[in-house]
Structure 1
Amino acid sequence: MRFAAVLNQDGGTLRTTDMAAFAERLRQTLEAVGHSVQIDIVTRREVAAALEKAVAKRNVDVVIAGGGDGTVSTAASLLMNKKKALAILPGGTMNLFARGLGIPQTLDGALTSFAEGEVTAVDMASANGRPFVHQFSIGMHARMVQLREKMDFGSRLGKMQASVRAAWATIKNPRTLKVSLTIGKTEIITRATGISISNNLFGEGHLPYADDPAGGLLGIYVSVARRRRDLVKLFLAMLRGRWRDSQHVEIHQADKAILKIHSPTKKFSAVMDGELFGLERETVIEIHPGALKVLVPARNVQTKAA
């Protein structure tokens, strides 16, 4: 296969990696089994343009996106419904979409998996036409990201610590939104502290990522917790992957959901694949089955086929 790699040197673990040495290992690993690769090492600001350039190349079969959730999400958006496949180098803090695909969580482990990997199709989702691969959230999660973005951190560990501090600040002063959520023929009207909609239902017993990235349904999570102690319990349940054990979250599945904000506040924010953006009062979230081709370890394709 013919690869084009875009490596975000400012992303997560790549920030503290010898990029020249790693690029050489990438080249040697792929060329040793007959592949070819073009490598572009860029800054965070240059990622989008570099990915657009890689996707536009005719002589490329697979685009490698090296970086965090933002880098991966940008690459996936550009590759949605394209013939080219996405390969993920997990250089972020949590790498949740990569985990769902069975990608090894070390950079060198991921490289080895690419050498003998196979292409399969997985789902994507969108919010008012804007694609995402992992999760769309409003309420507490968006507030937490807003607070975290104001903190200083220079490493993956630092970002994790900042996330915990931001989460606690959000839990201490919870806010609610009056919303309606239409799922099929059912309309839910509630005051929620948070709503998250994932690209396929999160699995149980681990961090929040989908066990089946080609399941064809959105996972819809509505937090009904309002008291501080209940929000702490919900946060801990989320980290342990015990969503279904929590009495403070309502879980639904659908291929489409319509979210309407009825609170009087003029401006709202949502977080999608880790990035903040302005939210409209009405948002249509849909799943797009098989819209993204990805390169995964060969055994994962074999297991799903069985």
Structure 2
Amino acid sequence: MRIIALLNRGGGTLRTTDLDALEAHLREAMRVGGHTIELGYIEGEEVGRELEAAAGSPDHDAVLAGGGDGTISAAAAALMGSGKTLLVLPAGTMNLFARALGLPMDLHKAVDALAKGVARDVDIATADGRPFVHQFSVGLHARMVLMRSRLEYASRLGKMLASLRAAFAALAKPSTIEAELVMGETVVRARTPGIGISNNLFGDGPLPIAEKPDGGLLGIYIFRTARRLEIALLFVAMMLGRWKEIETVDIHQSEEVVLRVRSRRRNQTCVIDGELVPASNETRLRIHPKALRVVVPADNDR
């Protein structure tokens, strides 16, 4: 493949990585794997613009994106339906999409896996046309992300601690939204603290990772309680990988869902792949089966 690699210097792991050593390893691994590579660095507001330019370049047929979930989401959005291939280098805090693809979390091991990997078509979802690879959420999660954004942190550990503080703050004063979800002929109405809609159903385990990246169905999660204790128990169950056993979570699957939300909050927000964005009263979410080509480890070509 003719690869252009764009590494986000602001990615959590890259900020503390020997970039010269990583670049040398990346070039050599790709050479041995039979690929050509052009490498550059991106940061801040230029990330989305540079990824879109790389996706549209006739000089390359693949884009390697190095960074956190936000960077990878932007790269996937740029490449969706293009026929070009995305290589994911996990350099963020959680790296949820990279985990779903079976990639190692160590940067050098991930480079080796990508150099020897195979192409595979996986699903990508959209919210009112905006692509996402992991999750859309409203309610509790959006409040947590908003609270975390007001806290200062300068490292991966700092971000995790800030997330924990934000979770406790949100739990201290839970609120609810009124929601209606239309899934084909099924209509669900709920007063809920939060709703999550994922690009394929999450598997078991302590991290919310798609069990099958090409399953072809959105995972839809509706929390049915606003009681602090029950929400806290849900968080504990999630960390233990047993959240599916909690009766206060309704789980649905659908190719498409229309979500209508009413909230007492004046400026309603949602989270798309970890990014806090303004939310509308009605959002149409769809899954696009096998609309994104990625590279996965050769032994994970399920």
Mark yes or no: TM-score above 0.5.
yes
The equivalent residue for 1:81 is 81
The equivalent residue for 2:200 is 200
Q: 8 Å contact 1:208–1:239 — kept in the other structure?
A: no
Distance in 1 between residues matched to 2:93 and 2:205, nearest whole Å: 19
The equivalent residue for 1:259 is 259
Distance in 1 between residues matched to 2:245 and 2:162, nearest whole Å: 27
Q: Which runs of 5+ in 2 are unaligned?
A: none
Q: 8 Å contact 2:124–2:290 — kept in the other structure?
A: yes
The equivalent residue for 1:148 is 148
Q: 8 Å contact 1:9–1:19 — kept in the other structure?
A: no
Distance in 1 between residues matched to 2:33 and 2:204, nearest whole Å: 37
SS of 1:44's equivalent in the other structure is: coil
The equivalent residue for 2:223 is 223
Distance in 1 between residues matched to 2:129 and 2:45, nearest whole Å: 23
Distance in 2 between residues matched to 1:151 and 1:237, nearest whole Å: 26
Q: How does 1:1-306 map to 2 (within 5 A)?
A: 1-301=1-301, 304=302
Distance in 2 between residues matched to 1:116 and 1:94, nearest whole Å: 24
Shift, 1:14, TM fit: 0.7
Distance in 2 between residues matched to 1:6 and 1:34, nearest whole Å: 19
Distance in 2 between residues matched to 1:235 and 1:195, nearest whole Å: 14
Shift, 1:274, TM fit: 0.3
Q: 8 Å contact 2:200–2:219 — kept in the other structure?
A: yes
Normalised TM-score (structure 1): 0.96
Distance in 2 between residues matched to 1:194 and 1:99, nearest whole Å: 24
Shift, 1:264, TM fit: 4.5
Q: 8 Å contact 2:136–2:196 — kept in the other structure?
A: yes
Q: 8 Å contact 1:11–1:44 — kept in the other structure?
A: no
Distance in 1 between residues matched to 2:156 and 2:24, nearest whole Å: 23
Distance in 2 between residues matched to 1:14 and 1:211, nearest whole Å: 27
Distance in 2 between residues matched to 1:252 and 1:206, nearest whole Å: 20
Q: 8 Å contact 2:205–2:238 — kept in the other structure?
A: no
Q: What amino acid is the match of 2:95?
A: N
Q: Percent identity?
A: 49
Q: What amino acid is the match of 1:172?
A: A
Shift, 1:256, TM fit: 0.8
Distance in 2 between residues matched to 1:194 and 1:93, nearest whole Å: 23
Shift, 1:152, TM fit: 0.8
Q: What amino acid is the match of 1:257?
A: V
Distance in 1 between residues matched to 2:26 and 2:45, nearest whole Å: 23
Q: What whole-Å deviation, never above 9, does each CA across 1:280-303 have from its counterpart, x for those lacking one?
A: 1000111000010001111111xx
Q: What amino acid is the match of 2:61?
A: D
Which moved further from structure 2: 35-44 or 124-133?
35-44
Normalised TM-score (structure 2): 0.97
SS of 2:229's equivalent in the other structure is: helix
Task: Let me know the Cα RMSD of the aligned residues.
Answer: 1.1
Q: Give the number of equivalent residue pairs.
A: 302
Shift, 1:27, TM fit: 0.8
Q: What amino acid is the match of 1:134?
A: H
Q: 8 Å contact 2:103–2:113 — kept in the other structure?
A: yes
SS of 1:11's equivalent in the other structure is: coil
Which moved further from structure 2: 55-64 or 172-181?
55-64
Distance in 1 between residues matched to 2:184 and 2:253, nearest whole Å: 10
SS of 2:45's equivalent in the other structure is: helix
Shift, 1:62, TM fit: 1.5
Q: What amino acid is the match of 1:208?
A: P
Shift, 1:55, TM fit: 1.1
Q: What amino acid is the match of 2:174?
A: P
Q: What amino acid is the match of 1:10?
A: G
Q: 8 Å contact 1:207–1:240 — kept in the other structure?
A: no
Q: What amino acid is the match of 1:163?
A: S
Q: What amino acid is the match of 2:29?
A: T
Shift, 1:156, TM fit: 0.7
